[in-house]
Structures are given as structure tokens and as C-alpha cells.
Copies of this chain bind each other. A is one copy, B any other.
């Protein structure tokens, strides 16, 4: 791969060759970051070349991805998710311009499809036919779906608290699913042991440096959809730290290759009940402290983040903003997104929008700001919490007088 220089350790700075099976730093065990030759990329691809491409998936950005091609196996249509102008909602939040990047519109209904599609290609390059991961849910279902399409096997470890919709997806995609009775930390540990034991391809986002390269395509798309005119802020919910890391990497890549001339500030949103990364970032330290996992937003309920370095660097380097939101604020954002933008988000998917609201209210960001909110997953993944957030409908006997009374009681004037 002429455009890839190698994989550099985020801890010790050691540069290693980027092989298909590369995981952590061979020297210190640190998480690696794929490094590109931006001059080479610039010589091969321009903004105008992109305009001529008919491929609307994440693979349209091949020159920015650590692969030679996407292989021969069948692929799901990952990426190319809509970026909506949400003027009504933006006004309600009190900002100048709001865009919603609805990544719940991916094949298995979350942003994680971008990472899993990449994992499947790299597993094939590594000659593996079985892929494994531990996940709070979305990474798992996206891996299972993308691997099923390509004809690969999967072993998936999820905490037993994972929402039913996500588990149903896994089973339907034919994954071998292991529910682990414990925390995400317990789940991660047993999966690591099993991966080591059986030599499966490892799709654990914090260990496999390629996954973030898939995730970053969400930023490449946002930039292209905005005509490469950057917003002031991009808000994203944060759990493990891999997604925020990928989002930031995408913008940095575009900047380094001369596709954009301004970098957005990242709004890092965590749940108040589980915010180890934001707590460390706010204190200006890389030394994060584990926390309990007290939030209904299961996808970001990560008390022991696996990728704190890239997450903290993303906040630091982007001169970012940290916001912690309560479950109530998340549920309110779910309603705001549904009612004003027609976007049905899972709790973690709505957290970014909740964070924007809070950041404006507390004066952390300016009222004349342009902001992109990334919705990371679809609300159909977690119907139980959707019901909790959306409330109960009225119920009447089939009679016009009853209907009139029910409307009257609720102040509804049709």
C-alpha cells in the first residue's frame, strides 16, 4: 500500500509495518494509529475526482483507507448515510445551523458497520475465516451482519444486559453468541482469552488499528456532504473512545491532505452516570479513572474505556468541549430528534444531540455556531428505552364523544 506509511504507537511512537493482522505495538503494547503519506494521497485524489464517483459507500474514499481494494466477497452497503439539515431542531437548540448525520441508516443500523466492514476486508487479507469481538451490542451486530454477507464465521461476546434487538440481530446473522453475565470489562477479558486461544481475527476496536480507519469515513462523508466547508463543532457520544477517535482521525486526514482548511472542534458527550473520559479531559489529564456504568445508553456505558488515549487526544487536539448528560436529557433528545427531524435514535445515538443542547444552555458553545450531530445508532435497536422515553398514548372506546373528551382532557385542538 503505497499510501500507507505504517502503524505508529500512540504511546511510545514506535513505527511498525501495517500488516493485515497487525494489532497492538510490538514494543510496548500500546494502541497503534495508521499513518498515511498525505502527499501521495493528494497526488492521487482530488475533491473533483470524488464528484465523479458513483460508489456512494464508504469505499468511495479508497485512497484514505488502509486497503488496496475491497476484495472479492459480497459486501453490505455501508456508509453514504444521510446528512440532514435540521433547521427546526437547530432553532430549538438555539444554534445557527444544525446538521444531523444519521448513521442509524447503515445496514445493521449503526455507525459500527463502518468498522466491521473494514474488519471483514482485513480478516480476509490476513487469511482468516473467523472473526471475533466483544461489544456492548452494535459492534457485534455489525460484525455479524457484515461477516455473514461475506461468508465468514463470527464469535461474539456481549454483556447479558445487551438490548434484545441487538441480540436478535446477532442470532439472525448466524453468529455464535456468548452472553456474558458480568460487566463490559468482564466480557472484554473473556473474549480476549478466547481470541488468543483459537487464533480468530480480532475485531476489538481498541486493539485493531484498522477499525478506526473504517469509522473515520463518517467524517469524510460529513465533509464531502458539506462541500468541504467545515462546521464549527461535531458532536458525538463517547464510550470506549474508538468512535470519537475515528471521527477526529477523518477530519485530520482531510486536513493533512489539503481537502479542508479548517478543523472542527469535537463535542465529546458522555453519560453523567459513566464519564471516565470526559472527567479526565476536563481535568486536563490522561490519567482516567474507571467508573460505574450507570446509564440507559448501553452503547456508551463503558466504565473502563479501551481506547482512552485516542479519545483524550481527539478532545485535546481539537480544542474540544466535554459535556455529560443525564438519562433524562438523553431521553429528551430522543424525543426532540424524533419529533423535529423524523430521526429515531437509540439512547447513545441521541446523546450527541443532548450534549449540544446542554452545551448551548451552559454557554460552552456559541449561539451562532454551525454544528453536526452524529446519530450513531437506530432507535429500533432498543425499543424498551424508546417506550420509556416516548410516553404512553391515550386510549379510548370507539366513540366520537370519547375521542372529543380525550382530546379535550389533553388540550389537543385538531
Residue ranges of A at the interface with B (Cβ–Cβ < 8 Å):
56, 74, 76-77, 80, 82, 84-88, 102, 105, 107-109, 130, 145-151, 155, 158, 160, 164-165, 167-174, 176-182, 186-187, 189-190, 193-194, 197-198, 200, 334-335, 338-344, 378-381, 383, 386-387, 389-400, 403, 406, 412, 414
Contacts and interface: CB of A to CB of B under 8 A. Distances in A.
A398 B168 contact: no
Contacts of A391: 171
Given A168-B379, A393-B170, A406-B178, A148 B338 contact: yes
Given A390-B172, A394-B179, A395-B160, A165 B342 contact: no
A306 to B, nearest CB: 16
A86 B148 CA distance: 11
Contacts of A80: 56
17 contacts: A74-B88, A76-B84, A76-B342, A77-B105, A145-B338, A147-B342, A149-B342, A151-B340, A164-B383, A167-B393, A168-B379, A169-B379, A173-B344, A177-B393, A186-B398, A187-B398, A380-B381
Contact of A178 (B76, B150, B186, B393): B393
Contacts of A169: 344, 379-380, 386
Contact of A108 (B168, B180, B344): B344
A403 B182 contact: no
Contacts of A148: 338-342
A168 B383 contact: yes
A403 B195 CA distance: 12
A165 B383 contact: yes
A277 B29 CA distance: 64
A158 B168 CA distance: 26
Given A334-B172, A339-B173, A383-B165, A396 B180 contact: yes
Contacts of A164: 383, 387
B174 A338 contact: yes
A55 to B, nearest CB: 11
Contacts of A197: 400
A350 B295 CA distance: 35
A154 to B, nearest CB: 11
A298 to B, nearest CB: 15
A1 B387 CA distance: 43
A254 B389 CA distance: 45
A333 to B, nearest CB: 11
A180 B168 CA distance: 29
Contacts of A145: 338, 342, 344
What 5 A-B pairs are tightest by C-beta distance, nearest first? A149-B342, A174-B339, A171-B390, A177-B393, A172-B338
A200 B176 CA distance: 50
Contacts of A335: 172, 174
Given A107-B105, A383-B164, A383-B165, A182 B342 contact: no
Contacts of A86: 74
A400 B190 contact: yes
A369 B84 CA distance: 40
Q: Which of A171, A172, A397 has the most CB of B within 10 A?
A: A172
A380 B141 CA distance: 12
Contacts of A176: 412, 414
A386 B178 CA distance: 18
B341 A194 contact: no
Given A130-B414, A180-B398, 4 more contacts: A56-B56, A171-B392, A177-B393, A178-B406
